[in-house]
Chain A
Amino acid sequence: GAGVSQSPSNKVTEKGKDVELRCDPISGHTALYWYRQSLGQGLEFLIYFQGNSAPDKSGLPSDRFSAERTGGSVSTLTIQRTQQEDSAVYLCASSLATGRETQYFGPGTRLLVL
């Protein structure tokens, strides 16, 4: 079946611009996670959704980062006023439910802020 999809695959933007990253989870998966992978920090948790609510936003690095999920499906991660240190691969994952479930990852969005 279809896996987790993310768009765009690559995004180049100028410092100060806003960007939106999209994640389509596996159909029927209620839990959705965003992670970031950068050279200096490795793989970091950003935020997770159970349905449309986000019980844990502890990983968001600043108030420039926000995410939403609508209809219990698609999620968008928005970065406002991008900075060069935001350059990274942004990975989305989904799981059938929260709690002891395997997470399935999308291919990621590679963001480069010039």
Chain B
Amino acid sequence: SQQGEEDPQALSIQEGENATMNCSYKTSINNLQWYRQNSGRGLVHLILIRSNEREKHSGRLRVTLDTSKKSSSLLITASRAADTASYFCATDAFAGGGNKLTFGTGTQLKVEL
């Protein structure tokens, strides 16, 4: 089952604009990760934020985590056409000795020229 719910489900912006995607989850977590998926195939890891962190940056990416609200956001600044993809948040609850990921429903981002 999907733990995370992401919004919006779809987002269309112009190149150069910022894109913000949100993720909510239900249970306590060890960390939250964001992945990108192109054309329904392999997932590319973008960034991991641990439960004791509130904000993290990587290049044009900025991720926030609010454990009290069980939510996270991914901001992509100065978007490019190549950022067009589906973006998923995934939570790691580290139960039973393994960190299986529970994925959100995903946001489809389209960046137009």
Residues of A within 8 A of B (CB): 31, 33, 35, 37, 42-45, 48, 50, 55-56, 59, 89, 91, 93, 95, 98-108, 110
Closest beta carbon of chain B to A73's beta carbon, Å = 18
Q: Given contacts A33-B100, A33-B101, could you give 8 more A-B pairs where the C-beta distance is less than 8 Å?
A: A42-B106, A89-B41, A95-B99, A99-B98, A100-B30, A100-B99, A101-B99, A105-B45
Also in contact, A91 and B42, with CB within 8 A (given A45-B102, A100-B31, A100-B92):
yes
Q: Are B30 and A103 in contact, with the CB atoms below 8 A?
A: no
Q: Are B105 and A56 in contact, with the CB atoms below 8 A?
A: no
Q: Are A50 and B97 in contact, with the CB atoms below 8 A?
A: yes
Counting CB contacts under 8 A, is B68 at the interface? no
Kindly list chain A residues whose C-beta atoms are within 8 Å of the C-beta of B45. Answer: 102-105
State in angstroms the CA–CA spacing of A98 and B99 once bound together. 6
Closest beta carbon of chain A to B10's beta carbon, Å = 15
Is chain A's interface secondary structure helix, strand, loop, or mixed overall? strand
State in angstroms the CA–CA spacing of A104 and B102 once bound together. 15
Q: Are B100 and A100 in contact, with the CB atoms below 8 A?
A: no
Counting CB contacts under 8 A, is B33 at the interface? yes
State in angstroms the CA–CA spacing of A50 and B101 once bound together. 15
Instruction: Choose from B2, B41, B48, B97 the contact partner of A56 (Cβ within 8 Å).
Output: B97
Per-residue CB proximity of B38-74 to A under 8 Å, as 1/0?
Answer: 0011111100101000000000000000000000000
Kindly list chain A residues whose C-beta atoms are within 8 Å of the C-beta of B99. Answer: 31, 95, 98-101, 103
Kindly list chain A residues whose C-beta atoms are within 8 Å of the C-beta of B87. Answer: none
Q: Are B106 and A103 in contact, with the CB atoms below 8 A?
A: no
The residue of chain A having its C-beta at the shortest distance from the C-beta of B30 within the complex is A100
Kindly list chain B residues whose C-beta atoms are within 8 Å of the C-beta of A44. Answer: 1, 103
Closest beta carbon of chain B to A92's beta carbon, Å = 10
